[in-house]
Amino acid sequence: MYAFCPLRRWVPLSLLVVLFSGLAGSGGGARLQAVSPVPGAPQEPQIATDPGFRELKGALLEGIPEFPAYPGATLIGSAERNRPDEKNRGYRIKWTTVDRPARVMAWYAKTLPRSGWTYVPDDDPEEEDELEAKIANATFSGYLEAETEDYPNRELTDIVVVLARK
Partner 1 sequence: MGTPRSCAVALGATFLLAISAFGIPPDTPEFTFGAAGDFGTGRAFKATVGAVQQRNPDFFIALGDLTQSSTGEEAWCRYWNDHLTSTRLLIVPGNHDTDIARYVRYCGSPFQAMITGTYPWQYYFDYPPATPLGRFIVVSPSIANGVPVVTDYSAGTPGFAFVANAIDNARRSGLKWVIVSMHKNYIATFVKRNEVSTDRGRTFMTMLLDKKVDLILQGHEHGYARSKQLTTNPSTCPVLPVNTFNDACVVDGDNDLVKGAGTVIQIISTGGKGLRLVERSDSEHQYFVDNFRDADSETWGFGEFTVTPTELSFSFVRSAGQGFNESFRIKEQHFTEEMSPRHRGVSEQRE
Positions touching partner 1 (CB under 8 A) are 2-3, 42-51, 53, 55, 79-83, 89, 92, 94, 122-124, 126-130, 132-134, 142-143, 145, 148, 150, 160, 162, 164
Residue 55 CB, nearest approach to partner 1 (Å): 8
Residue 145 CB, nearest approach to partner 1 (Å): 7
Nearer to partner 1, 82 or 111 (CB): 82
Nearer to partner 1, 2 or 26 (CB): 2
Q: How would you list the strands of the sheet with 130-136, edge to edge?
A: 55-57, 74-80, 90-97, 155-165, 140-150, 130-136, 118-121
Residue 63 C-beta-side C-alpha neighbours within 13 Å: 20
Residue 141 CB, nearest approach to partner 1 (Å): 9
Q: Which strand (E) or helix (H) includes residue 164?
A: strand 155-165
Q: Are strands 140-150 and 130-136 parallel, antiparallel or unpaired?
A: antiparallel
Residue 140 CB, nearest approach to partner 1 (Å): 11
Q: How far is residue 144's CA from residue 159's CA, in Å, rounded to a whole number?
A: 7
